[in-house]
Amino acid sequence: MIRNIPLIIAGSFASLPLAAQDWRVHEMTRPHPATAPAVPTARADRPPPGAVVLFNGTDLSRWRSDDSLPARWIVGKGYFEARPGTGTLTTVDSFGDMQLHLEWAAPAAAKGAGQDRGNSGVFLMGRYELQILDSWRNDTYSDGQAGSMYGQHPPLYNAALPPGTWQRYDVFFRRPRFGAAGELTEPARVTVLHNGVPVQNSVVLRGPTTWLARAPYEAHPDRLPFGLQDHGHAVRFRNVWVRPLPEGDAPPPPLALRPFTDQERQTLAGRYGAATVADSAGRLWLDLGDGAMPLVAAAAGGFSIEGVDAAVEFEPGAVNTLVLTVGGVKIRWR
């Protein structure tokens, strides 16, 4: 067990420079994820504990019209349906990163062709459309068929079922990130399963989805409602729920460092059993047998490996001893 640890450390050493503010490898203060109750396989489509259930089968209280009036779509037995001419149906709640499950059905009596058949859509954050379309034996441009991110990414497969059949989308959405000045720091990404088939695999969105155009990103809030499109077709929906996803904790400021002193470089360099500390290019390097890792000296005292939450101590004695503490475990080389 312990013998494997040096390999793991060496393997995680990357030659890429660390971002100005990033988590150190094996950072002990990095928060642990909350425990999520397991969802039995047979109930995978049902809202998991803690999910935001947006349709309970009977009313549209979690929805409103895009013009802020109460929802005017039709509620049937266990489903709701787009009422043509009433506009986008929008969630009352706002969301950022999320898992979204929804089930939809194109009108059973297929009418029209191309985009004019069973058309609706999920407007993530009101801007990024996951297309809903009757794509069962119905040709249209590929970046506008069911499962496409409209105008940007065709689906990987046509997973459409016949009109009138309940279909499901499972969406994993990572919202775009904007900096303090409104600049894009990270584009949105989305992964989509259509009827269980992966149709979008972590695709990067180029900006809001639009007809006939490419639109650039514009800064927007971190949480926004999502909408269902009224494209003039009586598309039905049921079992709509969201699991908001944790968006991660900001890493702490980087450790303040100081240069090694000449005396440290001279006295600490040497062999510690199978480990070697070398003095090169004005700093010390630790090699545990799998390549040299740069050591750093903390301004507050103590030594570490660059970018890693690990303490490196040198114990004076009859033989050179080096103690590496990582993950709360001390490993000795002597």
Q: Which stretches of the chain bind Mg ion, using CB under 5 A?
A: 119, 121, 229
Give the integer Cα–Cα distance in Å for 159 and 198: 9
CB of 4 to Mg ion, least distance (A): 52
> What's the DSSP call for residue 143?
G
Q: Tell me whether residue 225 or residue 307 sits nearer to Mg ion (CB atom).
A: 225
Residue with tokens 């929802």: 71
Q: Tell me whether residue 209 or residue 304 sits nearer to Mg ion (CB atom).
A: 209
Whether 98 and 117 have beta carbons less than 8 Å apart is answered as no
Q: How far is CA 163 from CA 60, 139, 145, 146, 244, in A?
A: 24, 14, 14, 12, 30
Handedness of CA 20, 24, 25, 29 (dihedral sign): negative
Q: Tell me whether residue 200 or residue 304 sits nearer to Mg ion (CB atom).
A: 200
CB of 28 to Mg ion, least distance (A): 48
CB of 121 to Mg ion, least distance (A): 3
Q: Tell me whether residue 125 or residue 312 sits nearer to Mg ion (CB atom).
A: 125
CB of 91 to Mg ion, least distance (A): 17
Q: Tell me whether residue 134 or residue 306 sits nearer to Mg ion (CB atom).
A: 134
CB of 74 to Mg ion, least distance (A): 18
Q: Tell me whether residue 6 or residue 144 sits nearer to Mg ion (CB atom).
A: 144
Burial class of residue 246 (count of CB atoms within 10 Å of its CB; 0-12, 13-18, 19+): exposed
Q: How far is CA 16 from CA 13, 107, 174, 306, in A?
A: 9, 53, 25, 12
Beta strand pairing call for 270-272 and 275-280: antiparallel
Which residues are 95's β-sheet partners? 224
CB of 219 to Mg ion, least distance (A): 25
